[in-house]
Chain A
Amino acid sequence: MRSLVRTVLVAFTILIGTARAHASQEAADLKRQIETQQAGIVDLQRLDAHRAVEDEITRLRSWLDEAFSQHAQAKWDHVRELIDRCLAQAELIRQKINVAQLSAQLSLKTAELKQTRERLQSTRASLEQATIQKKAMEITSK
């Protein structure tokens, strides 16, 4: 009986130790994720050349700060939820940066198209003028 109790106690102790170790490892893992995301903010800001997602980045930063705060309070569920939200927000920021880049590219192309159309229009007008002048001179020279 005594050995059984001892076994149970050892097993309980091992279980508690394992649980504590596991919890400690998860906390470190969460912290690393938060830090990784915070480091990624700099990259996102650099990508945001058109300042299109400044509000979104501010919001991401505040959520990461909140995640740190929750991490310090060992509210792991909240931390995980916040990390998931920040991951989604970061993805959103990247896609919006892509949108901004494509919009800028589209604007450039649109401007180029407009410029080309104006040049074409001007050239066609000059051509028409030259054709009229040519016909007039042909008639005159006859």
Chain B
Amino acid sequence: MSRSILVAAILLSACASAPKPRELEALEQLRASPSLEAAQKRAPDLVEQSNKLFNKAHQEWQSKDLEESRRDALMGHIKLDTAYALTEQDQARAKIIEISHQLVQNNDDLLRAEKDLVVAREQVALLKRLAETKSSADAAALKAIEEKQAMEKKLREEQDRTQAQQKVSQAELALKTADTVDAIHNAKVEYGAAMDLVTRAQNEFKAASYAAAGTSAEMAKQKAEQAFAAAKPIFSEVEKNKDLQSRNDALSKDAASIPGVSVRLERRGEVQRLVIPLPNLFVRKQTTVEPSAGATLDQVARLIRKYPGYPVQVIGYTDKVGRPTELVALSLARAQSVQSALLVRGVEASRMMVSGQGANEPVNDNRTATGRKQNNRVEVSFLFQ
């Protein structure tokens, strides 16, 4: 039994295949490469030789001729490896050609891009210079505008100053005009306000607040004009009175200087009379002026002509001796004689009012001769208010 088992084992071991040589396995792996097809196209002789050697090595392995199988597999490996190397060379050369083409293309593109870049940078540089030039021109224009604005401002200020000065001057002039009518007394409120406003305008002008100074000056001018308007009638009235008074005084003084005449001033209501009594013009009941009275009448006539604004009354009076109607007629005749004498001496008739008062208004006692002599008189009166 044991002998038969031993024989069977020996037979089985004899029938079992030998282990595959390492070189054959390596060749098999190399043949499984995806590059095999390309290698067949590139080096068909080498691949064919390798195939034959592989088949031979395989058969030798199966027939347990391991050494021969190993050698043939090794040689087939070398042949196939060489075919692969040739394929790799072709692939590398193709890639090099492709990359070279790309390089040429890239270099062309690069050259164009660099040229374009140079052009673009030159244009940018030109634009920068242009912008700088424009900027400096703008700055100069801006500076010119600013200078112009400054000059205009200065001019406006000067105009404002001049206008304000003119207004202040006008206000001062108006104030001086108001002074001419004594507004400081005749229109105290308006004049005081105008004065304050002028002072304020002057201070504002000094402080270079020309607009405010102008406004204050205008107000001052208005107030001064109001003061003038308010004071003028009062002042006129006062001046008129002063003038009249002085004329009256002058008249009185001139009248008093006539020799042999004593003047008197009478007030009858609103009317005043400067009376120049002319005695000794007539003899007894005569109505003709004595020649000796010519000098006095000359001076009276000169006085009347000197003061032409005064109305003149020529009134005759008598003493009380006789009938009143006769005395009135006598006194009127004597007054008319004096009027005629004055007319002869250049006095206008229209200025003179002639009347006879008879024995009325005696100036002395009619019981004495001296008194009666003085009552027989003609009075020339200047009338005024």
Interface of A toward B, CB cutoff 8 Å: 81, 84-85, 88-89, 91-92, 95-96, 98-99, 102-103, 105-106, 109-110, 112-113, 116-117, 119-120, 123-124, 126-127, 130-131, 133-134, 137-138, 140-141
| Per-position 1/0 for B93-135, Cβ under 8 A of A | 1011001101100110110011011001101100110110010
Q: Which residue on A lies nearest to B81, using beta carbons?
A: A92
**Can you list 27 pairs linking A and B with CB atoms under 8 Å apart?**
A85-B75, A85-B78, A89-B78, A91-B82, A92-B82, A92-B85, A95-B85, A95-B89, A102-B88, A102-B96, A103-B88, A105-B96, A109-B100, A112-B99, A112-B103, A116-B103, A117-B106, A120-B106, A123-B114, A126-B117, A127-B117, A130-B124, A133-B124, A134-B120, A134-B127, A137-B128, A141-B134
Q: Which residue on B lies nearest to A130, using beta carbons?
A: B120
**Closest Cβ–Cβ distance, residue B376 to chain A (whole Å):** 122
Do B99 and A110 have beta carbons less than 8 Å apart? yes
Measured in the bound complex, the distance between the Cα atoms of B123 and A134 in whole Å is: 7
Do A95 and B127 have beta carbons less than 8 Å apart? no
Measured in the bound complex, the distance between the Cα atoms of B82 and A105 in whole Å is: 20
Q: Which residue on B lies nearest to A88, using beta carbons?
A: B78
- Tell me if B223 is interfacial: C-beta within 8 Å of chain A: no
Residues in A whose Cβ lies below 8 Å from that of B78 = 85, 88-89, 92
Query: Which of the listed residues B75, B89, B92 has the most CB atoms from chain A within 10 Å of its own CB?
Result: B92
- Contact A109-B127, Cβ < 8 Å, known A88-B82, A95-B89, A102-B89: no
Do B120 and A85 have beta carbons less than 8 Å apart? no
Residues in B whose Cβ lies below 8 Å from that of A141 = 127, 130-131, 134
Do A140 and B131 have beta carbons less than 8 Å apart? yes
Do A113 and B85 have beta carbons less than 8 Å apart? no
Do A127 and B120 have beta carbons less than 8 Å apart? yes
Do A137 and B127 have beta carbons less than 8 Å apart? yes
**Closest Cβ–Cβ distance, residue B52 to chain A (whole Å):** 14
Measured in the bound complex, the distance between the Cα atoms of B100 and A113 in whole Å is: 8
- Tell me if B273 is interfacial: C-beta within 8 Å of chain A: no
Do B116 and A127 have beta carbons less than 8 Å apart? yes
